[in-house]
Amino acid sequence: MIAAATLAALATVCAVGAWRLTSHRWTWRAPRAAILLWQSLGVTWGLASVGALLAFALQPFGRGIVHGLAYIGHHWREPHDLPRIVSLVAGLALLAALSTVLMWAGVETLRARRRHRMLLALIAREEPGVPGVRVLDHPGAAAYCVPGLRSQVVISAGTLRLLSPDELTAVLAHESAHVRERHDLVLLPFAALSRILPWSKTVHEAHASVALLIEMAADDRARRQCSPKRLATALLRFGTAAAYATPYGALGASTGENVMARVNRLVKPRAELPAHARFAIVAGSALLTASAPLLWLLPG
Amino acid sequence: MKGLGELERSIMDILWAERGPLTAREVGRLIADRDLAPTTVMTVLDRLTRKGFLTRTRDGRAWRYEPAASRDAYVAELMLEALDLTGDRSAALQRFAQAVSGSEAEILRRALTELEE
């Protein structure tokens, strides 16, 4: 019973922790550590929720979750009372649902990127002034990367006109930070969850928080190579480029608040969280991540 | 000889520039690279058709090929994705920043003026 109760408590702690973390601003002072914390909260929440259901179902066998599952699989035994059978089915269904959603999101993303890359190969051009960058002939302002094994950085012709050379360098440094640190892989599970649970405010905000933290991490990496002020003015120019850049009427999901938050970090940097605090977050995340798998193995 | 990707690109450019559908032979004549084997042109046309970028119709014993959509339509498609306006919330692309509207844009505009002074 202890394992089931502990796992249920752990899942609750993660859910409450995620809900609290969405409203905290100290994360902006250590985006990298905060991203790690978010990842460990997500993984632990999933494993603990599934684990709590399975631990309750398998408790009569006294073998823990992993060995208990192996036992009933091997001996074709099932729990005897109805609540435990329901719990077993629910646990396995949740596990299947979570893994399916992640795999489906991965496949969808790969497919979207493949199509995007094929089109780029046919219509994007090279620009002598910015080697290694694909240019899309469109007056709108866009700068992005298509992540993958061979990532591509793409800007629109509108961006070339909108930004000064220094600003362009800053934007490209920001994008290559995304490429180098594979931020897309960090974001994928959060995007997937927020797509299938659109009514969950916490999941939605978790996704938004991680997305913003990733941008801040890339800003931090870029500012080592370029002027933070130029990165900030580039951000503002993009944010206000809508006037002539939206032939489509609608606008993206981003908010001016996010842009201002990033600009303020660049022009009025607050001290990064002290090293010991960052270490504590990283160590706490590691501990949290290890806890659920250990409880899965614990007998009884 | 050019790589297959380069060739796909040149062939799309040729077909986009034409008004009507062309046969493989006609495409071959318009390609700058004269040494290209006709079978190579066929292969590339076939690949592009399978990828959905070309449509083909029977014309006697030959096929006539034309682009499935205009170049501008494809540019617009990429741009919609780049600006995150497709409504699809996947994490396929990593965007630098997005435009905001109305009063929020006004705040940003003022911040920009301040920074530039």
Q: Could you report the per-residue pLDDT of A228-278, keeping only the tens digit for each? A: 999 999 999 988 886 444 444 444 445 678 888 999 999 988 888 999 999
For residue A74, what pLDDT band results from cuts at 50, 70 and 90? confident
Q: List the A152-156 sheet strands across, edge first.
A: A125-126, A133-136, A152-156, A143-146, B94-95
Q: Which residue has the higher pLDDT, B14 or B89?
A: B14
How many Cβ pairs within 8 Å bridge chains A and B?
Answer: 173
Domain ranges for chain A, please list them: 1-97+271-300, 124-269
- Listed in sequence order, the residues at least 6 apart from A255 whose beta carbon sits closer than 8 Å to its beta carbon are B100, B104
pLDDT in tens, B37-47: 888 899 999 99
Buried b (16+ CB within 10 A) or exposed e, B11-25: bbebbbeeeebbbbe
Q: Which residues pair with A146 in a beta bridge?
A: A152
Answer whether residue A63 shows pLDDT above 90. Answer: no
Q: Contact at 8 Å (CB) between A105 and A125?
A: no
Mean pLDDT of A274-293: 95
Output the pLDDT for position A250. Answer: 42
Q: Which of A38-47, B2-11, B80-89 has the highest mean pLDDT?
A: A38-47
Contact B99 A236 (CB under 8 A): no
Set of chain B residues whose Cβ sits within 8 Å of the Cβ of A237: 112
> Which of A112, A255, A256 lies at the smallest CB-CB distance from B92?
A112
CATH number of B4-67: 1.10.10.10
Answer whether residue A288 shows pLDDT above 90. Answer: yes
Contact B9 A144 (CB under 8 A): no
Q: Looking at the complex, does the CB of residue A245 fall below 8 Å from at least one CB of chain B?
A: yes
Set of chain B residues whose Cβ sits within 8 Å of the Cβ of A260: 107-108, 111
As a whole number of angstroms, the distance between CA A38 and CA B67 comes to 46
Q: In a mutagenesis test of the B interface, which of A136, A230, A254 is the best target, namely the one with the most B β-carbons within 10 Å?
A: A254
Output the pLDDT for position A242. Answer: 62
Contact B81 A238 (CB under 8 A): no
Output the pLDDT for position B87. Answer: 66
pLDDT in tens, A177-224: 999 999 999 999 999 998 888 888 889 899 999 999 999 999 999 999
Mean pLDDT of B20-46: 87
Q: Looking at the complex, does the CB of residue A217 fall below 8 Å from at least one CB of chain B?
A: no
Question: Residue A150 has which token pair?
Answer: 């061979």
Output the pLDDT for position B89. Answer: 61
Domain ranges for chain B, please list them: 4-67, 71-116
For residue B90, what pLDDT band results from cuts at 50, 70 and 90? low
Contact A116 B78 (CB under 8 A): yes
Answer whether residue A9 shows pLDDT above 50. Answer: yes
Output the pLDDT for position A244. Answer: 45
Contact B75 A123 (CB under 8 A): yes
> Which of A136, A215, A255 lies at the smallest CB-CB distance from B75?
A136
User: Considering only alpha carbons, which residue of chain B is nearest residue A235?
Assistant: B97
* Residue-averaged pLDDT of chain A: 89
Q: Contact at 8 Å (CB) between B62 and B51?
A: no
Q: What is the pTM of this model?
A: 0.88
> Which of A119, A233, A256 lies at the smallest CB-CB distance from B100?
A256
Set of chain A residues whose Cβ sits within 8 Å of the Cβ of B108: 236, 239-240, 256, 259-260, 263
Output the pLDDT for position B109. Answer: 87
Contact A251 B100 (CB under 8 A): yes
Contact A239 B105 (CB under 8 A): yes
Q: Looking at the complex, does the CB of residue A260 fall below 8 Å from at least one CB of chain B?
A: yes
Output the pLDDT for position A136. Answer: 94
Among A61-75, A114-128, B15-29, B85-99, the least confident range: B85-99
Among A183-187, A253-257, B21-25, B83-87, the least confident range: A253-257
Q: Looking at the complex, does the CB of residue A154 fall below 8 Å from at least one CB of chain B?
A: yes
The per-type count for chain B, helices as H runs and strands as E runs, is: 5, 4
Three-state SS string over chain A comes to: CHHHHHHHHHHHHHHHHHHHHCCCCHHHHCHHHHHHHHHHHHHHHHHHHHHHHHHHHHHHHCCHHHHHHHHHHHHCCCCCCHHHHHHHHHHHHHHHHHHHHHHHHHHHHHHHHHHHHHHHHHHCEECCCCCCEEEECCCCCCEEEECCCCCEEEEEHHHHHHCCHHHHHHHHHHHHHHHHHCHHHHHHHHHHHHHHCCCCHHHHHHHHHHHHHHHHHHHHHHCCCCCHHHHHHHHHHHHCCHHHHCCCCCCCCCCHHHHHHHHHHHHCCCCCCCHHHHHHHHHHHHHHHHHHHHHHHCCC
Output the pLDDT for position A93. Answer: 96
Q: Contact at 8 Å (CB) between A189 and A103?
A: no
Q: Contact at 8 Å (CB) between A245 and A140?
A: yes
Set of chain B residues whose Cβ sits within 8 Å of the Cβ of A240: 99-100, 105, 108-109, 112
Answer whether residue B19 shows pLDDT above 90. Answer: no
Contact A252 B74 (CB under 8 A): no
Q: Looking at the complex, does the CB of residue A150 fall below 8 Å from at least one CB of chain B?
A: no
> Which of A108, A140, A144 lies at the smallest CB-CB distance from B94?
A144
Output the pLDDT for position A268. Answer: 87
Q: Looking at the complex, does the CB of residue A143 fall below 8 Å from at least one CB of chain B?
A: yes
Answer whether residue A293 shows pLDDT above 50. Answer: yes
